[in-house]
Structure 1
Amino acid sequence: MEGVTILRNSLRALATVLAAVIAGTGTATAAPVLPALPAQSSLPSHPAINPVFNDPSCIPSPAHPNPVVYFHGTGTDSNDFVDGAHFLRSQGFCLWTHHYGTGSDTLRNLVPGHRGLGPIDQSVEELADVVDGVLATTGAQKVDVVGYSQGGMLTKAYTQGRGAGKVGRAVSIAATFRGTTIDGVVPVIGSAVNANRASSEHLVGASTLDQFADSDFIGRISALPDTTAGIIYTALYTPSDTVATPYQTSMLEAVDGADVANINIEAVCGRGFAHQGLPRTTEVIHLVHWGLTRAPGQTTATPENCRA
């Protein structure tokens, strides 16, 4: 879940509007308006998918035969991964991605670059179709997946569903595997949100609500095993995270002999990290590369894995 300032301000607005409804003051006299955007990165205003992705002419090196499919987070898009994708391409990987969750009825869709906002069940099916298309195009037997925040949680939903047998490695970055409290915001507004689901979805997007720790979706996905044998998992997390909270939500439990590395980015790389911007961070880019190349059973990263 990205766009931290926007999301928190939106949730505060949501809480105010819903409180008025619950208190019997009638509907708001004006539709809620998203706050002004904070300073953005150098991403274009109307980003298309960068040509480093989805290149059918890309020939992977023999060491990296699996196409790598990126799953972006909530309120962002695949441009978050461009720097990392260029690095992986230089190492012999072929990269694929898709801007998912764009068809929902939410005010956040009006913000350029805000995607991943639709119901998560629909996004899982959307990405499953994308992976099938990548396999058909490349002739590969399996893909490796890299997911950030909601995208990381989608890797679990996918591998435990239609993706069974189609994934070799799964690397997650600050994933919301068990949902999030958004640093204590969710418990405060949860009952109001549940009582006014349609209005809430219109303001912040269905996927935001689906990732609340007490949501029906998280209840269903939490009932599934975290992992499955045969996939090499690398879960990157940061204890300073204030979006995917508590930070243990981003960790995986090894089930059925799965190969799992839970990596505290701060402890390994020697500095603090915030949730926002993680995929564009040099250390994370190199740890993703480590997760895609580490030997089976090598579950401990070192500071050397944080840099070239």
Structure 2
Amino acid sequence: MLAGLPTARRRLLVLLALVAVGAVAALVVLRLTGADDAARPAAEDEATPGPVLLVPGYGGSVGSLQTLADRLAAGGRDATVVPVPGDGTGDLAASAAALDTAVDEALARTGADSVDVVGYSAGGVVARLWAADGGAEQARRVLTLGSPHHGTTVADLAARFLAAECPDACQQLTTGSPLLAELNAGDETPAGPDWVSVWTTGDGTVTPPASAELAGALNVPVQSVCADAEVSHGQLPADALVQAIVLAQLAAGPPVELGPADCARLRAG
């Protein structure tokens, strides 16, 4: 068929055919290697992380998280401790609503696309309530710090023997509370953010300490990094080693597996 065409036109048709074959081959390579993502903006794990919102635990002490917020700020992060209503002893859903407002304000103020949330103790449960109610779409990472995700027997004892001194949040942190049962039904870590749970085996407030384990999260007991670490529940936010672990997990990029090989470096940092 080509033999009957003028030489110049025949060469043009052959050239066009070769270009078409080359384009198809390139497309196949792109599909197989994932290189078609190259035209996208910087990947999320390479982007500059947005502001950090820190949520205090039962009792609502903003000061308990200030040293951690200061260390994050010293590392260049925009870090804010979120005051929670009722000193953190009221309905945890109300604290989640306060977090939601603080997130919206932080995103509007900074122009960032997402936030990182650090929830200490009951604040980790608050962060999960917020995420489950749509907040997951706004979060890059949620890190909980010594949080009773499956309740604590300390709250059980308070609810049983000191009911008058066990307000709403205390009742909600019992091991059989309806709030935790609903929160833990199905997926404990909704899609959207990366999830990290940092906790200590020496916790005397979250009992048993393994209640802080979160299915679907990167779980980091402090002692899995430094076996001799003696960190209590109340010491978690201000402990230098724990802070270094938190900073490593909130850095750009995905959460990082940490182990004994990292102990000396994190303690020095």
Report TM bin, short chain. Answer: 0.7 to 0.9
Contact 1:261 / 1:300 at 8 angstroms: preserved in 2? no
Match of 2:203 in 1: 241
Residues 140 and 177 (structure 1), Cα distance of their counterparts in 2 relative to 1, 3 Å cut: same
- Runs of 4 or more above 4 Å deviation: 188-193
After the TM superposition, which residues 43-192 of structure 1 pair with which residues of structure 2 at under 5 Å, given as runs? 64-102=48-86, 115-182=87-154, 186=156, 188=157, 190=159
**Which residue matches 2:221?**
264
In structure 2, C-alpha distance between the alignment counterparts of 1:211 and 1:159, rounded to whole Å: 18
Find the residue that maps to 1:132 and give its secondary structure: helix
Find the aligned partners of 1:66 and 1:227 in 2 and give their Cα distance: 20
- Deviation track 1:215-257 (CA, whole Å, cap 9, x = no partner) reads 1211221215111334222211111211111112111111xxx
Residue 164 (structure 1) shift: 2.4
Residue 298 of structure 1 deviates from its aligned partner by 2.8
Alpha-carbon distance in structure 2 between the residues aligned to 1:73 and 1:250? 14
Alpha-carbon distance between aligned partners in 2 of 1:81 and 1:64, rounded to the nearest angstrom: 23
Structure 1, 67-76 or 127-136: larger mean CA deviation? 127-136
Aligned-pair CA distance for 1:168? 0.2
Higher gyration radius (CA): 2
Which amino acid is 1:79 matched to?
A: G
Q: List alignment gaps of at least 5 residues for structure 1.
A: 1-61, 103-114, 255-259
- Partner SS for 1:80: helix
More helix by share: 2
Q: Give the TM-score, by structure 2 length.
A: 0.75
- Superposed, 1:20-39 pairs within 5 Å as none
Structure-1 separation of matches of 2:95 and 2:172:
11
C-alpha deviations, 1:15-55, integer Å up to 9, x for none? Answer: xxxxxxxxxxxxxxxxxxxxxxxxxxxxxxxxxxxxxxxxx
Structure-1 residue corresponding to 2:240 = 282
Match of 2:42 in 1: none
Residue 191 of structure 1 deviates from its aligned partner by 5.1
Instruction: Give the deviation of 1:65 after TM superposition.
Output: 3.5
Change (3 A) 1:189 1:88: closer
Counterparts of 2:186 and 2:101 in 1: how far apart (Å)? 21
User: What amino acid is the match of 2:220?
Assistant: I
> What is the Cα deviation at residue 190 of structure 1?
4.5
Name the Cα RMSD after superposition.
2.2
Equivalent residue for 1:53?
none
Q: Secondary structure at the match of 1:70?
A: strand
* Runs of at least 5 residues in structure 2 that lack an aligned partner in the other structure: 1-45
In 2 relative to 1, CA 242–70 (structure 1 residues): closer, same or farther, beyond 3 Å?
A: same
- CA distance in 2 between partners of 1:95 and 1:73 (Å): 17
In structure 1, the residue matched to 2:29 is: none
Work out the number of aligned pairs and report it: 220
Counterpart residue type for residue 217 of structure 1:
L
Write the letter of the residue equivalent to 1:275: H
Distance 1:189 1:63, change over 3 A: closer
- C-alpha deviation, 1:101, in angstroms: 2.2
